[in-house]
Amino acid sequence: MDQQTFEGIKQSFKEADLDTKIDMYATVEGLSHSQYKELLKMFPLNALDRLEAALA
């Protein structure tokens, strides 16, 4: 995904509530491995189990 588009997604992710973050992370397409990692850094650590369940 190009950097400009990713920056928009990243900003939306940063401002989203937890459920929206989980939905975005699980459904967004075309991200590189490093872009997924960048989003994951902004995800609350205490909710990683919910993200893992959504990805399963």
pLDDT in the model for residue 19: 97
Distance CA 6, CA 12 (A): 10
Closest CA to 9 of 26, 28, 32: 28
- Which tens digit of pLDDT belongs to each residue from 9-52? 999 999 999 999 999 999 999 999 999 999 999 999 999 999 99
pLDDT in the model for residue 37: 96
pTM over 0.75: yes
Closest CA to 1 of 27, 43, 35: 35
Contact, 24 vs 46, CB < 8 A? no
Distance CA 22, CA 53 (A): 10
